[in-house]
Amino acid sequence: MAVGAVAEPALRRGSDYAQLSRQIGAAGLLERRPGWYVAKIALTVGLFVAGWVAFALVGDAWTQVFVAAFLAVATTQVAFLGHDAGHRQMFRTRRTSEVAGMLAGNLAVGLSYGWWIDKHTRHHANPNHEDEDPDVGAGALVWTEEQAAETRGLGRWMARRQAYLFFPLLLLEGLNLHVASVRALVERDRATGAHRTPIRHRRVEALLLTVHLVAYPLVLFSVLSPVRALVFIAIHQGLWGLYMGCSFAPNHKGMPVVTAEDELDFLRKQVLTSRNVRGGRVVDFALGGLNYQIEHHLFPSMPRSNLRRAQPIVRAYCAEQGIPYEETGLVDSYRQALRHLHEVGAGLRRS
């Protein structure tokens, strides 16, 4: 999720991006879509609530595994609403957007909205930049040969096989997001004593996140036997993490990684590092509009429902400017990402 701080840059009259932005503005695609979002919020919240109503009705039975899978989908759809709120696609005011983001993120999903805003803002400002984008920083996976060369022990073993480990590791992404959220809210710099992550409403976020982290297991263990509750958590959290990872992975993974030496203007920096995913309205729904990643990165505050309409304008403009516009199918997008991960670890496999 990017925020208003990383919305469209100040326009320089006559720049390539300024000309494109005028076309998009003239088409009315930057205007809010309140009616569409009212319906979208109602549908998403309805699915989420329906999942928990089903949980209460099913009771202590193994059929709860299907409820857990359904709730993994509903939880991810709620997270997509938090993403849109963070970009101010839904509401004009910052306050309303923050309230919606914290309710969706901290309370419903268990994800710190403020932590995510800080991280995602840096990503949008410098996508796929090896030094500036936190999404391509070294972690359980490595994204550049330089990162691979610095691995040791278990990290090196994983880097050699990371293309095969990618989807299994995504099953742990939900847990990783919960842990990262808690750490962002409480961790301080040892030298200064200041919080490491800037979060505007830290106390409110901490309260909402605590409610989620306490109520979630309390409800599960109150209704289910300990074994069934643990299985429910494993399925729900595992599939939520997998769904989230599969929604974001096609967007930039396997696209060019840029460095400080690359001198790109805003238009080219966003287009050359992003990938769109074809697939029609089913993919639009499944990926929360993130399949229009190029348009989203160029116009972060554009309502999700307008991205489809903006695509032909952006694609045609990129063709006029001679800018490569990457678009592929969903399966091929994963293939490209996995191929990149495999190539990054190639040097380690030869050593």
Give yes or no for residue 264 having a pLDDT over 70.
yes
Average pLDDT over residues 319-339: 96
pLDDT the model gives residue 261: 84
How far, in Å, CA of 287 to CA of 310, rounded?
Answer: 17
Q: pLDDT per residue over 32-53, tens digit each? A: 999 999 999 999 999 999 999 9
12 pLDDT band (50/70/90 cuts)? low
- pTM for the predicted model, two decimal places: 0.92
Domain ranges in the chain are 4-350
* Confidence at 6, pLDDT banded by 50, 70, 90: very low
Q: How does residue 351 score in pLDDT terms, banded at 50, 70 and 90?
A: confident
